């Protein structure tokens, strides 16, 4: 088993890192996993969900290897059949990956060959070591030497695969991009945009703390110098842009709040960064959008797709960007280097394609993005929401005036009012931090008189359309959670 996995990994390192059987099977597992399982993994393990998958895969492989070994005590063929089946599985996984060429096929093929032949050979050596009691000592030593040699070769092959996969030097390419600066100074940020000293997040989330959600088992490693973006479909003139084409254009920098549809009420999947890039409408106007093309379907290098309403991307009042920079740096690899889409007011799964390489003008009737057949809404504007960050749920604070603080967001509409109430009492307006623009979150703070004892505090926001958050709690599926965030704390 080790030989099969390692040889496949080594060959993949040479031809195409993502063709490694373990990586390809992992990616395919994510793709075919039932929606509830994928949701469960994200909710339970958060950013570690892929690590958990890797460990799980290792355990399953080990168990299968042990079973195959036990079944093969006399004859080699049960083990060879297992190796054949697993190799076949890896081949199917590799062949059905959208990001792998035909050459990638030779990695699982090498795995299969190493598995079947390696097992046959070791099995023969093992039998020779036990079959004749007379020659016992000598053959057994030879068998141990042989399998020890195989184990060492396996380790070397696996390590070689890692090293070779690393040769796609995405970090190097990112470093070579150097500094990216907006063509004109961005709109000034007013003072007092957060209450970070009082418990809210900072207005801008650092790249390190920015939430991360994607289906990528292994992060796509692209090179800016090789990257291309093709815009095609229902357009007048198909166009292809290189990274240089994009960076030489007029670049704008805008603070934008991104939110994930999987964010539970009070959840962490919301962040704000200064994104730098080209307004997508400028690119779309260059290609010319044909009438009737109501959907823009963007595709990543690893085959993820998101379908956004064309009108949202053409809207001059919101900064839908093809982003190449984030908080003064080139996009981090895990946030989509070298380019991604960011659309204020739309959940990430219908807009924010990372590692974007293809934009197709189409219709909602003709095509569906990745999450739509998995039960999520076709249209997914970000819902007006609010969250309490201080005090923390379960905290114990001194009685008296307690600072309750948090965030509220209604991207592209703007927050008009935030209110809090203690123990189901009267709603009390919160103080709002300065507004940067209507596509970013807004921080708030309220000073609430609190007697000793256990308490519950709730928050609700009202946006500029006049809509006040409903109390009704709904699940995140199919189009985002609703309900008031509440926390419990005690005053001493």
Ligand X SMILES: Nc1nc2c(c(=O)[nH]1)N[C@H]1C(S)=C(S)[C@@H](COP(=O)(O)O)O[C@H]1N2
Q: By the criterion CB under 6 A, which residues form the site for ligand X? A: 210-216, 258, 260, 300, 304, 335, 348-349, 352-355
* Interaction partner, residue 211 (Mo ion, ligand X, none; CB < 5-8 Å by kind): ligand X
353 contact, one of Mo ion, ligand X, none, CB 5-8 Å limit per kind? ligand X
Task: Output the smallest distance, CB 28 to ligand X, in A.
Answer: 15
Query: Which listed option, Mo ion, ligand X, none, makes contact with residue 355 (CB within 5 to 8 Å by class)?
Result: ligand X
Structure tokens at 99: 């990001």
Q: From CA 389, how far away is CA 203, in angstroms rounded?
A: 13
CA angle 375-381-382, nearest 5°? 100
- For residue 212, the minimal CB distance to ligand X (Å) is 4
Q: What distance in Å separates the CA atoms of residue 416 and residue 9, rounded to the nearest whole number?
A: 55
Phi-psi region of 423 (alpha: psi -120 to 50; beta: other; left: phi over 0): left
Minimum distance, C-beta of residue 481 to ligand X, in the bound complex (Å) = 14
Cβ 216 to ligand X, closest distance in Å? 6
309, 315, 306: which is closest to 294 by C-alpha? 309
Which residues in the 189-228 window bind Mo ion by CB under 5 A? 213
User: Taking the CB of residue 462, how many other CB atoms lie within 10 A of it?
Assistant: 19
Partner touching 27 among ligand X, Mo ion, none, CB below 5 to 8 Å by kind: none
Quick one: 213 or 445, whose CB is closer to Mo ion?
A: 213
Cβ contact 484:409 at 8 Å: no
Q: Report in angstroms how near the CB of residue 98 gets to Mo ion at its nearest.
A: 20
Which of 260, 407, 408, 459 is in the footprint of Mo ion by CB under 5 A? 260
Look at residue 346 and give the partner it binds from ligand X, Mo ion, none, a contact being a CB closer than 5 to 8 Å depending on partner kind.
none
Which of 486, 443, 459 has its CA nearest to residue 198? 443
For residues 297 and 367, is the Cβ–Cβ distance under 8 A?
yes
Nearer to ligand X, 23 or 352 (CB): 352
Beta strands 329-330 and 305-309, pairing class: unpaired
Question: What track of x and - describes contact with Mo ion for positions 326 through 365 (by CB under 5 A)?
Answer: ----------------------xx----------------
d(CA 400, CA 492): 9
Residue 61's binding partner among ligand X, Mo ion, none (Cβ under 5 to 8 angstroms by kind) is none
Coil, helix or strand for 35?
Answer: helix
473 burial (CB, 10 Å; 0-12 / 13-18 / 19+) is: exposed
Instruction: Closer to ligand X by CB, 50 or 455: give it.
Output: 50
Nearer to ligand X, 210 or 241 (CB): 210
Q: Which stretch binds Mo ion (CB under 5 A): 37-45, 181-189, 254-262, 294-302?
A: 254-262
Please give the DSSP secondary-structure letter assigned to residue 474: B
Rounded to a whole number of angstroms, the minimum distance from the CB of residue 175 to ligand X is 20
Helices (H) and strands (E) counted in the chain, each on its own, are 11, 19
Q: Dig out the tokens for 177 from the structure.
A: 């991009």
**207: number of Cβ within 10 Å:** 16
**CB-based closest residue to ligand X:** 348
| C-beta closer to ligand X: residue 173 or 300 | 300
| First-residue to last-residue Cα distance in the chain | 60
How far apart are the C-alpha atoms of 177 and 328, rounded to whole Å? 12
Unique residue bearing structure tokens 């093309």: 293
- To Mo ion, the closest distance from the beta carbon of 214 in angstroms equals 8
Closest distance between ligand X and the C-beta of residue 254, in Å? 16
Question: 260 vs 324, which CB is nearer to ligand X?
Answer: 260
Report the C-alpha gap between 300 and 148 in whole angstroms. Answer: 43
CB of 355 to ligand X, least distance (A): 5
- What is the rounded distance in angstroms from the CA atom of residue 462 to the CA atom of residue 384? 8
- Cβ 40 to ligand X shortest distance, Å: 16
**214 versus 479: smaller Cβ distance to ligand X:** 214
Please, which residue, 47 or 473, has the CB nearer to ligand X? 47
Of 46 and 160, the one with the shorter C-beta distance to ligand X is 46
Taking residue 37's Cβ as centre, other Cβ atoms within 10 Å add up to: 12
Give the residue with the Cβ less far from Mo ion, 87 or 369: 369
Collapse the DSSP code of 491 into the 3-class scheme (helix H, G, I; strand E, B; otherwise coil) and give the result.
strand
Binding site for Mo ion (CB under 5 A): 213, 260, 348-349
């Amino acid at each position: 088993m080790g030989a099969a996995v390692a040889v496949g990994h080594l060959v993949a390192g040479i031809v195409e890192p993502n063709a490694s059987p373990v990586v390809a099977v992992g990616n395919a597992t994510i793709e075919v996993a039932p929606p509830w399982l994928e949701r469960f993994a994200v909710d339970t393990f958060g950013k570690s969900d892929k690590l958990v998958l890797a460990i799980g895969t290792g355990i399953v492989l080990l168990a299968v290897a042990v079973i195959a070994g036990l079944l093969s005590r006399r004859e080699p063929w049960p083990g060879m059949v297992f190796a054949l089946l697993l190799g076949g599985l890896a081949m199917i996984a590799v062949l059905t990956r959208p990001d792998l060429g035909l050459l990638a096929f030779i990695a699982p093929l090498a795995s299969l060959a190493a598995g079947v032949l390696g097992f046959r050979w070791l099995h023969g050596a093992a039998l020779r070591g036990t079959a004749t009691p007379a020659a016992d000592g000598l053959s057994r030593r030879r068998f141990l030497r042989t399998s020890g040699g195989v184990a060492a070769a396996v380790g070397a092959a696996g390590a070689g695969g890692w090293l070779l996969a690393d040769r796609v030097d995405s970090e190097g390419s990112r470093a070579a991009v150097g500094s990216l600066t907006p063509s004109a100074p961005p709109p000034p940020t007013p003072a007092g945009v957060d209450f970070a000293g009082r418990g809210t997040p900072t207005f801008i989330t650092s790249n390190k703390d920015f939430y991360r959600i994607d289906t990528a088992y292994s992060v796509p490693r692209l090179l800016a110098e090789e990257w291309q973006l093709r815009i095609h479909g229902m357009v007048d003139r198909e166009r292809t842009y290189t990274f240089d084409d994009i960076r030489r254009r007029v670049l704008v920098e805008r603070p934008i709040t991104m939110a994930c549809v999987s964010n539970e009420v009070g959840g962490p999947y919301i962040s704000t960064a200064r994104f730098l890039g080209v307004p997508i409408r400028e690119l779309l106007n260059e290609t010319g959008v044909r009438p009737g093309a109501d959907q823009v379907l963007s595709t990543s290098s690893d085959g993820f797709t998101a379908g956004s309403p064309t009108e949202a991307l053409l809207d001059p009042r919101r900064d839908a960007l093809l982003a190449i920079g984030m908080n003064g740096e080139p996009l981090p690899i895990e946030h989509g280097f070298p380019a991604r889409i960011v659309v204020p007011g739309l959940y990430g799964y219908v807009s924010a394609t990372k590692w974007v390489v293809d934009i197709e003008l189409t219709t909602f009737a003709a095509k569906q993005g990745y999450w739509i057949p998995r039960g999520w809404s076709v249209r997914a504007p970000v819902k007006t929401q609010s969250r309490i960050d201080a005090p923390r749920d379960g905290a114990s604070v001194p009685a008296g005036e307690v600072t309750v603080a948090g965030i509220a967001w209604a991207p592209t509409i703007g927050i008009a009012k935030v209110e809090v109430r203690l123990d189901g009492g009267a709603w009390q307006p919160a103080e709002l931090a300065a507004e940067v623009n209507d596509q970013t979150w807004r921080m708030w703070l309220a000073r609430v008189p609190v007697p000793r004892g256990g308490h519950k505090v709730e928050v609700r926001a009202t946006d500029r359309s006049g809509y006040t958050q409903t109390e009704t709690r709904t699940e995140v599926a199919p189009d985002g959670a609703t309900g008031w965030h509440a926390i419990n704390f005690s005053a001493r």
